Structure 1
Amino acid sequence: MDNKRGKGLSFAKRIYAPRTIGLGIGSFSVMAALYPLNVPLWIWGLLLFNGFIWPHLAFVLSTRSAYPFQAERRNMLLDSVWGGFWAASMQFNPLPTVTILSMMMMNNVAAGGQKMLIRGALAQFTGAVLSWLLLGIAFNPDTTALQIYACLPMLTLYPFAVGMVSYRLAIKLAEHKRALSTLSRTDSLTGLLNHGSWKDLLQLCFQQSQDSHMPATLALIDIDHFKQINDTYGHIVGDSVLRRLSHELKENLRTEDLAGRYGGDEFCVILPNRSLAQAREIMERLRQVFGNYQHADDPELRVCVSLSIGLAACRPEYQNASSWLNEADKALYIAKNTGRNKVSIGAADTLSEAALSNSPE
């Protein structure tokens, strides 16, 4: 309910400025068309009310309504009634009539599409019928120079006002779209890439490394005995540990390194243009820094936290990114099954390092 009301208020605020400008300058077009017709005095009073009081009254009515969006849509239909009334009252003088009714049609289409356009047209016809009943039916095909000049502000300033509102709305929508895109790609707890986004980037990085023959290393990180931390200290502390690891990853990695939450207590990092030796040094530093964990809300609380990390270099013989990921997973398995709290590499990388160390200089 509060969200809907907030959106309705935002809609009413967007309409307020164009309505104030449009009805204000539009009233001069109507005045120029009514002046030669010798209309009753009360018509002039009604025109002043519609041009200079109604925009503010409409805004108050919509913002004070329990349902501002619906109230503003009703106000727009009333605008159309006014438009039809003035078109008939000035005897359908061609230029002022087309100017006023077309601008209102533009408003209706922008606010509610075809459905609102049809409703607005019916409202304009209703307004014209009211004018005929009060003033009679007449048609004046002659447009004077004064009436042409009186329509010029409406034809220039009002589209400018509507364009500015549309531009600001487009900017706001683009910002929301970027925010939603970011939310869809990131893990809500840690702020790192989520599983799906990271897997997509893994495939991209793998292909780039294979095509360019540049080194890249993949790291899988597991928080040792994380379930025991949750069971002993509670999930609040557990979540704090996850957030701390994500913070350390951001602090210790480059902008181009891609860190994500793979699932649960497992994290993953793609390190493009990093050799296995360079990646091992980075991960060792991360492991040591993370071992000095302190709970943010309770510095006295000491939680024993360690990391097991598996590394795998991107190798030419891998057919796809899954093979690369599988090798890093094997390296992580080695780290977890040989004492934990260490950085390990897979069998393929171990053999490669051994071959390099045994090769003659």
Structure 2
Amino acid sequence: MENQRGKGLSFAKRIYKPRIIGLGIGALSVAAALYPLQVPTWVWAALLLNAMVWPHVAYLLSTRSAFPYKAERHNMLFDSLLGGFWAASMQFNPLSTVTILSMMTMNNVAAGGVRLLVQGSLAQLTGVAVSWLLLGAAFSPTVSQLQVYACLPMLTLYPLAVGMVCYQLAIKLSEHKRTLSALSRTDSLTGLLNHGAWKDLLQITFQQCQQQQTQATVGLIDIDHFKLINDNYGHIVGDTVLRQLSLELKRNLRENDLAGRYGGDEFCVILPDLPLEHATAVMERLREVFGNYRHPQIPGLRVSLSIGLATCQPHFADAASWLDAADKALYSAKSNGRDRISSAGRFTPSIA
């Protein structure tokens, strides 16, 4: 409900300024057409209220409503009704009528598509009927030079205002799209790349290494005995440990390195343009830093990492072969006592 109300308020705010501009300069077109017709004084008062007061009343009605979007659509239908009223009141002066009704029709289509277009058209016909009942039916086919000049602001400034609103909306939609795209590629707990996004980048990196003959190292990182941490201290503490590792990855890796959560307590990294020796040094620093982590409420908790590394080799048939080599290295690190780094058939023991 709150989300829908927020969207409705945003919709009302986007329409507020264009309505002020549109009704303000639209009144010039209507006034120029009404001037030679000698209409009653109350018609001029109604025109002034429509131009100067109604935009603010409409905004208050929508923003204070429990359903702002629905209220604003009702406001737009009332705009259409008034548009039909003014078209008939100025005796369907060709230029002024087309200017006013076409701009309102553009609003209805932009805001509600065909459905609001049809509803708006019916509201305009209702406005015409009201005008004919009050002022009588008449037609004035002539257009004066004054009326031409009076319509120019509506034909130029109002489309510009609507265009700016559409541009701002397009920018927001683009930002939302980028945000959603980032969320779809990000692990919600750690903020790192998720499994699918990281494997996509692994494939790209593999192709670059094979085509450009560049170096890169893949690392698989496992938190030792993580299940015991969850069993002994609870999943909340376990999640804290996972977030701590993700934080240390962000701190210790370069900007162009790619870190992700492979699944559960297993993490993964791609280190482009980094030979095995340098990658080992980076991972050793990570292992030592993470091993020094102490939970503020559980000082007795100890954590360690097992890490498997593999550099991209020309004989690898695909990215899966490269990843499999790192996985075998990780298995070797676990088999040889954990809390260590293993790569290419050798392992680096932990430092006591």
Match of 2:350 in 1: none
Match of 2:168 in 1: 168
How far the C-alpha of 1:167 sits from its partner, in A, is 1.4
Distance 1:342 1:332 in 2: 9
Report the 3-state secondary structure (helix = DSSP H, G, I; strand = E; otherwise coil) of the residue aligned with 2:222.
Answer: strand
Match of 1:87 in 2: 87
Letter in 1 for 2:326: A
1:56 pairs with 2:50? no
Match of 2:286 in 1: 286
Match runs of 1:120-131 below 5 Å:
120-131=120-131
1:338 pairs with 2:325? no
Report the 3-state secondary structure (helix = DSSP H, G, I; strand = E; otherwise coil) of the residue aligned with 1:6.
Answer: helix
Match of 1:310 in 2: 308
How far the C-alpha of 1:346 sits from its partner, in A, is 3.6
Match of 1:34 in 2: 34
Report the 3-state secondary structure (helix = DSSP H, G, I; strand = E; otherwise coil) of the residue aligned with 2:191.
Answer: coil
Distance 1:195 1:91 in 2: 68
Scaled by the length of structure 2, the TM-score of the pair is 0.96
Asked whether the 8 Å contact 1:87–1:128 carries over to 2, the reply is yes
Distance 1:119 1:320 in 2: 59
How far the C-alpha of 1:300 sits from its partner, in A, is 6.3
Report the 3-state secondary structure (helix = DSSP H, G, I; strand = E; otherwise coil) of the residue aligned with 2:192.
Answer: coil
Match of 1:214 in 2: 214
How far the C-alpha of 1:301 sits from its partner, in A, is 2.2
Q: CA-to-partner distance for each residue in 1:170-209, whole Å, 9 max, x for gaps?
A: 1111111111111111001111000010011110100000
Distance 1:108 1:95 in 2: 20
Report the 3-state secondary structure (helix = DSSP H, G, I; strand = E; otherwise coil) of the residue aligned with 2:207.
Answer: helix
Match runs of 1:252-291 below 5 Å:
252-291=252-291
Report the 3-state secondary structure (helix = DSSP H, G, I; strand = E; otherwise coil) of the residue aligned with 1:308.
Answer: strand
Give the stretch that moved more between structures: 131-140 or 28-37.
131-140
Q: CA-to-partner distance for each residue in 1:282-327, whole Å, 9 max, x for gaps?
A: 11111011100022xx266242100000011111111110111111
Match of 1:147 in 2: 147
How far the C-alpha of 1:345 sits from its partner, in A, is 1.1
> What is the aligned-residue RMSD (CA, Å)?
1.1
Distance 1:201 1:117 in 2: 47
1:326 pairs with 2:318? no
Distance 2:174 2:301 in 1: 43
Letter in 2 for 1:115: R
1:25 pairs with 2:25? yes
Match runs of 1:235-250 below 5 Å:
235-250=235-250
Report the 3-state secondary structure (helix = DSSP H, G, I; strand = E; otherwise coil) of the residue aligned with 2:309.
Answer: strand
Distance 1:162 1:325 in 2: 53
Aligned residues: 346
Letter in 1 for 2:143: T
Report the 3-state secondary structure (helix = DSSP H, G, I; strand = E; otherwise coil) of the residue aligned with 2:217.
Answer: strand
* Ranges of 4+ aligned residues in structure 1 off by more than 3 Å: none
1:185 pairs with 2:185? yes
How far the C-alpha of 1:99 sits from its partner, in A, is 0.8
Distance 1:302 1:193 in 2: 31
How far the C-alpha of 1:119 sits from its partner, in A, is 1.4
Scaled by the length of structure 1, the TM-score of the pair is 0.94
Give the stretch that moved more between structures: 230-239 or 47-56.
230-239
Asked whether the 8 Å contact 1:293–1:302 carries over to 2, the reply is no
Distance 1:51 1:225 in 2: 72
Match of 1:14 in 2: 14
Distance 1:281 1:61 in 2: 65
Percent identity between matched residues is: 69
Distance 1:180 1:25 in 2: 40
Asked whether the 8 Å contact 2:294–2:302 carries over to 1, the reply is no
Report the 3-state secondary structure (helix = DSSP H, G, I; strand = E; otherwise coil) of the residue aligned with 1:124.
Answer: helix
